[in-house]
Amino acid sequence: MNTGRYTKSTLLALITVLIAFSVPDRTLQAGAEDDSRRMWTNIYDEAVWDLRFGTAREKVNAARMFGAHQKTEYIRPLSDELLRDLESETFRHLPANDPYVKATIAWALGEIGHKHVVPQLLKALEITDRLITAEIDAVKA
């Protein structure tokens, strides 16, 4: 006794088919290993660019991703950005060199946890300690 209305199961099946065929191109399908590699390569490349040239927020987001994924191949860009302009009086006060940005980058290096990050972290600590001591001495004078 069909009165022209769809049953609940027919509607659910129709919705499922519509959703399956409306999947955006960026989504991965089963067996799409090459697509997955390409997608993640693009994401990592964008994050490296953001770490170097992005805003403070973009730098923080890139560092968080690298730290969360613990990929050792990103030690160099993280280390370079951690130490970049740290001692420069001219650039030290730019938003991209905000202490929160530098702290997040240091956190990411610590999360990666490789022995090669220790010298960069120690150098950043030494520079920061020297800068803070100089500022304290200037206030006391």
Model confidence, pTM = 0.71
Q: Tell me: the pLDDT tens digits for 60-80?
A: 999 999 999 998 999 999 999
Kindly tell me if the per-residue pLDDT of 26 is higher than 60: no
Longest dimension (CA), the chain: 95
**In terms of pLDDT, which residue wins out, 16 or 83?**
83
Q: Which residue pairs from 67-72 have beta carbons closer than 8 angstroms and sit at least 24 positions apart in sequence?
A: 67/104, 67/107, 67/108, 67/109, 67/110, 67/111, 67/112, 68/111, 70/111, 70/112, 70/113, 71/44, 71/112, 72/112, 72/114, 72/116
